[in-house]
Chains A and B, each alone.
Chain A
Amino acid sequence: MSATAAEPWIGRPLKRKEDPRLIMGRARYIDDINAVGQLWAAFVRSPEAHARIASIDTSEAKAFPGVHAVFTGNDLDLEAPLPMAWVPPGVEVKNPPHWSLAKDEVHHVGDPVALVIGSDRYAVVDAAQLVSVEYDPLPVVVDLEKAYEGGDLVHADLGTNQCHEWSLGGGDLDAGFAAADVVVERRIVNHRTAGAAIEPRGVLADYRAGSLTLTSSTQVPHFLRLFLALQLGISEDRIRAIAPEVGGGFGSKLQIYGEEIALAWASRKLERPIKWVESRTEGMLATHHGRDQIAYTKIGATRDGKITAYHTKILQDLGAYLMLLTPTIPSLGAFVMSGVYDIPAVQTDIVGVFTNKMPTDAIRGAGRPEATHQIELMIDQLADELGMDRLELRRKNFMRPESFPHETAIGVVYDSGDYPKALDTLLELADLDAIKAAAPAGKLRGIGYSTYTEICGLAPSRVTGPSGFGLQTGLWESAMVRVHITGAVTVYTGTSPHGQGLETTMAQIVAQRLGCDPQNVEVIHGDTGTGPQGLGTYGSRSTAVGGESVARATAKIVDKARQIVAHQLEAAVDDVELSGDKFSVKGSPDKGMTIGEISMAAYIPENLPEGMEPGLEELAFYDPENFVFPFGAHGCVVEVDPDTGNVDVVKYAAVDDCGPAINPKIIDGQVHGGIVHAIGQALFERIHYDDEGQLVTSNFADYALPSAADVPSFDLDRTETPSPVNSLGVKGIGEAGTIAASPAITNAVLDALRPLGVTFINMPLGPQRVWEAIQEAKA
């Protein structure tokens, strides 16, 4: 196969290159990887939500057959506590020490207190039960609003449960509200969820001869190497971090976990490879959670529906400690607080609050689903208040297509967008009104919309870096493209795909530019020991930033290739262009060389231009100038059984715009998964701690992930508005569905319940909550 102008590689719905090995069980996940002489680890975890560790007796566990060592918090002589990467200039962020193993106090159920290492996977789990820990219970802080107000403290020495305050605003808020005829205020709860990747976390630490190889089911191998160096005092060049096949992460593996550090430490101590794979229960207890915020929102508008001001105060439940990005998450939402609307005054005030729960951090969308949920609910609430059609109100306030690049009131510059077009496309895609009207007897149907944008493609380093937003890193990406002598291509990317199909997407980018078959473009990732530097996969950055760096490295290859062709065919460089599978001279398409012929010439350098180095291999670093802002319009119909409160999603239609589609099939897959993720949160999923701080939802019977049987099939369409930020024009799509869908579902439930007098409701919309809302409205 070759690309022709009529049939380019970019834009084709190719099946994913990675799928055969994934589907046939040939992939190698951490559980499949073992080292010779390997020991196993098990963690002893606190059953208490908050307690002082009075004593730990490890003698019985140490004596258990097969056990080599048992370590507790004070044994681990690490250089520093676990990292937190956000130091916003001028903002105090209280960061209590967080160690791989708790030292004196435990702060949430599942906090690790001891590490058991032995020769047998089963023995260490048995021995862990023999570690006897005496706890002196301390007061437990669970409720976010109570924690914010004070009272019992999670960290007594901080003197407060409030971690930090952070604000972002622009425009004259007072004037905006003064100009409003109508002001609506709501308390919007976005409950706690889990990433629940299908593959649990796992680590294999192998320290030998002064070097550490750490294999981990992670999204961020390069960050991991850096922090292993800082924590263990090992020079970075002596550390290799590998993310093997990773079975999903959704942000939960964008983390530096204590288990990774503790295993590396213990491997160095015992000079043996050590492996640990978490159980699902451990995963629910001790893999970071997401969301968990309460927003007090206030929106003002004139009678004719022009929004004049929008203010949100957010309480973010941080959990017990700050992990890599814990306090940062709500701030990511603040960048797009006003959504797709042109609002002259916008202000977000965030307070981070500690509780005795597992820390929260990035989960798919990270702050942006919360922001979108808030503004999209508020738009519907406002429309009700104004007695205005919900779509008319949206259209009235959309940023105009001709206003892009559009600077919002808070100074964020949206790159490109056409919101009316996305909404029009949605309305053509599905006749939601007809589906609503076809409600069976006794059932109530409602329509919900969400017109959204999000900010992704993390990130322009000068905006997000230390002196800007305060992240202690750059967020560029790099790629290396190597054309082999046969014309086969290997691409090394610093991003670390974990199931999103990036091997195919990146191969298509390269194939398009080199005129080769993407099947012959191998994409290597997730290993600090091979290929270039990189910063991992998250924030829908892997194509918009990682893919662009691949495109740029490929462009350098193309430059060199054209020079070689011009030299060999005695033509001007400017006249050489790719046509089909050949770089040929303009006007004589038969006269040309394939990339294989060019690379042959490059590696057998008998006839290269004067002074040209042999070989065909290029490296590119790319730091984006701006974020990218995907957008779209989602609409759905739900059916409520008013007798039971049950909610069924009858129809879900979505139009998403992530710029020109590289692989539409992969994009659809990402949108499908994203929508299900958000339907999961809206209707089913919920991490719940009881008043004692015990996790009630610690397995998949109680933490209710939806399956295919619980959701409809989706109607999808796209608009394609290129981003001016990168040469591909692309924006992210991995998080978009999740960001868009929860307000569409919630608004639809409210639309269905409106005839019964229910005006507002918070997720999760389980049947009992919906039924109770109906009862309250009746009373």
Chain B
Amino acid sequence: MIPAEFDYVAPASLDDALKALADGGEDAKVLAGGHSLIPLMKLRMAAPSLIVDLRQLGELKAVSEDNGTIRLGALVTHHTVATGGFGLVSAAAATIADQQVRNMGTIGGTLAHGDPASDMPAVLLAYEGSVLIRGSGGEREVAAADLFEDFLTTAVGEGEILTEVRFPKLDGYGYGYEKFNRRQEDWAMVAVSALVKKGADGTAEDVRIGLTHMGSVPLRATAAEDALRGKPLNAESIAAAAELAAEGTEPPADLNASQDYKRHLARVLTRRALTTAAS
């Protein structure tokens, strides 16, 4: 497990980091927690010529809240998120791997990486949150719906750094997170994030369902959301909506889970996540 040769810098400022990336060209890579990048390098599935380690950038470790928006610096670890009291976001972060991984892995890293089996992407999608991305050309905000382009491909471009993650607080929403895996520390076979806003009359005012590992990117279960939105929240309506959770999905199959089985899991987990969110 020996990576190919690479150079390494750990710049002291964001501007220096961006400059190092620009100078390093297309084979330069950002290093955050390293828990996706380093395994890929050891398997030689990634062979960057330059590593730009963000570890010194204290400004990317901040957590704040303003105007109903939770703002998490890109280097905020899964552990900090899991213990931060951010509703569904924390519940999902708490299921990532084990404590060692949560101590190292970062929210910016997992979103920039864009692994559809990872937990945070579909959560951000369900929240309709966004990320800030800095490049030599300046800063832009990218909505979750535009961030995930393909398997391990995100809108974070060459020479760019994801600096901040933004979640609306979604006060008044109930949530449920259902992750199905073989072992405690495994990536999700399928996971479902559900956010439900219950109206005063007991109907579903708003429904958001994020699907993890049901495609090459995280997905929203829009057919199920539409079926439940405006309906009274009860076991029958939830079950009926959950039946539509896998509509139109082409989940990646592997040794342990076929497409059919994953679609089935998506339906079961959606029912459970919605039930929790509505209760």
Distance to closest chain B CB from A695 (angstroms): 11
Q: Are A704 and B2 in contact (CB under 8 A)?
A: no
Task: Give the residue of A646, A684, A696 whose beta carbon is less than 8 angstroms from that of B255.
Answer: A696
Please, how many angstroms separate the alpha-carbon atoms of A767 and B262 in the complex? 11
A125, A646, A768: the one within 8 Å of B2 (CB)? A125
Chain B: CB-nearest residue to A645? B261
Per-position binary interface string of chain A over residues 636-657, scored 1 when its CB falls under 8 Å from any chain B CB and 0 otherwise: 0000000110100000000000
Q: Which of B255, B258, B268 touches A644 (beta carbons < 8 Å)?
A: B268
Task: Give the contacts of B116-156 with A (CB-CB under 8 A).
Answer: none
A280 vs B39: C-alpha distance in the bound complex, in angstroms? 12
Contacts of A280 in B (CB 8 A): 1
Chain A nearest CB from B168 CB (Å) reads: 31
A528, chain B: closest CB distance, angstroms? 31
A644-B265, A766-B256, A768-B261 known; A126 and B183 CB under 8 Å? no
- Measured CA separation A697–B261 after assembly (Å): 20
B43 touches A684 (CB 8 A): no
CB within 8 Å for A707 and B183 given contacts A644-B265, A697-B255, A768-B256? yes
Q: A644-B268, A702-B255 are in contact. Are A710 and B184 (CB under 8 A)?
A: yes
Q: Are B268 and A643 in contact (CB under 8 A)?
A: yes
Contact among B180, B184, B258 for A709, CB-based, below 8 A: B184
Is there a chain A Cβ closer than 8 Å to B171's Cβ?
no
Q: Is A281 an interface residue (CB 8 A)?
A: yes
Q: Which A residue sits closest to B262, measured CB to CB?
A: A768
Let me know if A121 is at the binding interface, CB within 8 A. Answer: yes
A122 at interface by CB-CB < 8 Å: yes
Query: A701-717 toward B: CB 8 Å interface, digit per residue (1/0)?
Result: 11010110110000000
Let me know if A684 and B1 touch, CB within 8 A.
Answer: no
Determine the residue in chain A with the shortest Cβ distance to B184.
A709
Shortest CB distance B38–A (Å)? 13
B43 and A122: CB pair below 8 A?
A: no
B253 to chain A, nearest CB (A): 10
> Measured between C-beta atoms, what is the minimum distance from B177 to chain A in Å?
15
A688 at the interface (CB under 8 A from B): yes
Enumerate B1-15 residues with CB–CB distance to A below 8 Å: 1-2, 4-5
User: For the complex, what is the distance from the CA of A699 to the CA of B39, rounded to whole Å?
Assistant: 11
Q: Which of B4, B184, B268 contacts A707 (CB 8 A)?
A: B184
* In contact, A122 and B5 (Cβ under 8 angstroms): yes
Complex Cα distance A280/B42, Å?
11
Interface size class of B (residues with CB under 8 A): 20 to 34
**A319, B256: Cα distance in complex, Å:** 23
In the assembly, what is the distance between CA of A652 and CA of B43, in Å? 37
Interface residues of B in 68-103 (CB under 8 A from A): 98
Instruction: Name the A residues within 8 Å of B184 (CB-CB).
Output: 707, 709-710
Verify A768–B185 contact, CB threshold 8 A: no
Chain A residues closer than 8 Å to B261, beta-carbon distance: 768, 771-772
Q: List B contacts of A702 (CB < 8 A).
A: 255
- The docked-state distance in angstroms from the alpha carbon of A696 to that of B150 is 23
Provide the residues of chain A in CB contact with B257, threshold 8 Å: 768
Q: A121-B2, A126-B5, A643-B268 are in contact. Are A704 and B255 (CB under 8 A)?
A: no
Q: Does A279 contact B (CB under 8 A)?
A: yes
Q: Is B186 part of the binding interface, using a Cβ–Cβ cutoff of 8 Å?
A: yes
Contacts of B231 in A (CB 8 A): none
Most B Cβ at <10 Å: residue of A644, A688, A704, A709? A644
Whether A766 and B2, one on each chain, are in contact in the complex, defined by CB atoms closer than 8 angstroms, is: no
Tell me the minimal C-beta distance from B152 to chain A in angstroms: 15
Q: Which residues of A contact B186 (CB under 8 A)?
A: 701, 704
Asked if B169 CB lies within 8 Å of chain A CBs, one says no
Q: Which of A643, A699, A704, A771 contacts B183 (CB 8 A)?
A: A704
- Name the CB-closest residue of A to B178: A644
Which residues of the partner chain A approach B189 to less than 8 Å between Cβ atoms? 767
Q: Which residues of B contact A643 (CB under 8 A)?
A: 268
- Closest chain B residue, CB of each to CB of A706: B183
Within 8 A of B (CB), among A138-157: none
- Residues in chain B near residue A710, CB distance under 8 A: 183-184
A646 with B183: in contact, given A122-B2, A281-B43, A768-B258 (CB under 8 Å)? no
Inter-chain contact A704/B182, CB cutoff 8 Å: yes
Interface residues of A in 656-687 (CB under 8 A from B): 684, 686
Measured CA separation A121–B180 after assembly (Å) = 40
Task: Give the residue among B184, B189, B261 with the most A Cβ atoms within 10 A.
Answer: B261
A-B contacts counted at CB < 8 A amount to 53
**Chain B residue at minimal CB-CB distance from A696:** B255
Bound state CA distance, A482 and B191, in angstroms?
62
Which residue of A is nearest B265, CB measured? Answer: A644
User: Shortest distance in angstroms between B32's beta carbon and chain A's nearest beta carbon?
Assistant: 20
CB interface residues, A 539-573, toward B, < 8 Å: none
CA distance A707 to B268 in the complex (A): 26
Tell me the chain B residues, 240-261 only, with Cβ under 8 Å from chain A. 255-258, 261
A771-B264 in contact given A696-B255, A702-B255, A706-B183 (Cβ < 8 Å): yes
Separation of A767 and B256 alpha carbons in the complex (Å): 8
Report B-chain residues with C-beta under 8 Å of the C-beta of A771: 261, 264
Question: Per-residue CB proximity of A107-123 to B under 8 Å, as 1/0?
Answer: 00000000000000110
CB pair B182–A766 under 8 Å, yes or no, is yes
Which residues of chain A are near B258, meaning CB under 8 Å? 768
The residues of A that contact B5 with a CB separation of less than 8 Å are: 122, 126
Asked whether, in the complex, the Cβ of B183 is within 8 Å of the Cβ of A684, the reply is yes
Distance (whole angstroms) from the CB of B242 to the closest CB of chain A: 11
Q: Which residue of A lies closest to B2 (CB)?
A: A125
Q: CA of A771 to CA of B183 in the docked complex: distance in angstroms?
A: 17
In the assembled complex, the Cα of A686 lies from the Cα of B2 at a distance in Å of 25
Contact bitstring A57-69, B, C-beta under 8 A = 1, else 0: 0000000000000
Task: Determine the chain B residues whose CB is within 8 A of the CB of A706 once the complex forms.
Answer: 183
Q: In whole angstroms, what is the CA distance A281 to B1 when docked?
A: 8
B269 CB to nearest chain A CB (Å):
8
What CA separation (Å) do A688 and B254 show in the bound complex?
Answer: 12
- Let me know if B182 and A279 touch, CB within 8 A: no
C-alpha gap A232/B183 in the complex (Å): 46
Complexed CA–CA distance, A684 and B181 (Å): 11
CB pair A646 B185 closer than 8 Å: no
Instruction: Give the Cβ gap from A696 to chain B, nearest Cβ, in Å.
Output: 5
CA distance A768 to B189 in the complex (A): 11
Q: How far is the CA of A702 from the CA of B187 in the complex (A)?
A: 11
Residues of B contacting A646 with CB < 8 Å?
A: 180
User: What is the distance, in angstroms, from B254's C-beta to the closest C-beta of chain A?
Assistant: 8
Kindly list chain B residues whose C-beta atoms are within 8 Å of the C-beta of A768: 256-258, 261
Q: How far is the CB of A749 from chain B (nearest CB, A)?
A: 15
Q: Please, what's the 1-or-0 string for A265-293, where 1 marks a CB less than 8 Å from any CB in chain B? A: 00000000000000111000000000000
- Which residues between 429 and 475 of chain A lie within 8 Å of chain B, taking CB atoms? none
> Shortest Cβ distance from B211 into chain A, in angstroms?
16
Give the distance in Å from the alpha carbon of A772 to the alpha carbon of B5 in the complex. 46
Instruction: State in angstroms the CA–CA spacing of A701 and B256 once bound together.
Output: 12
Interchain CA distance A121-B2 in the complex, whole Å: 9
Give CA–CA (A281, B261) in the complex, Å: 29
* B61 CB, nearest partner CB in chain A, Å: 28
Q: Nearest Cβ in chain B — how far from A148, in angstroms?
A: 24
Residues of A within 8 A of B98 (CB): 707, 709
**Which residues in B have their C-beta under 8 angstroms from that of A699?**
43
Q: Is the CB of B1 within 8 A of A279?
A: yes
CB distance from B20 to the nearest CB of A (A): 23
Collect the chain A residues with CB atoms within 8 Å of residue B255's CB: 686, 688, 696-697, 702
**Leading 4 A-B pairs by shortest Cβ distance:** A709-B184, A279-B1, A125-B2, A768-B261
Between A and B, 25 residue pairs with Cβ closer than 8 Å are A121-B2, A122-B5, A125-B2, A281-B1, A281-B43, A644-B180, A644-B268, A646-B180, A684-B183, A688-B255, A696-B255, A697-B255, A699-B43, A701-B187, A702-B255, A704-B182, A704-B183, A707-B183, A709-B98, A709-B185, A766-B256, A767-B180, A767-B182, A768-B257, A771-B261
List 20 additional A-B contacts (Cβ < 8 Å) besides A644-B180, A699-B43.
A126-B4, A126-B5, A281-B43, A686-B255, A688-B255, A696-B255, A701-B186, A701-B187, A704-B182, A704-B186, A706-B183, A707-B183, A707-B185, A709-B184, A710-B183, A710-B184, A766-B182, A767-B180, A768-B256, A768-B261
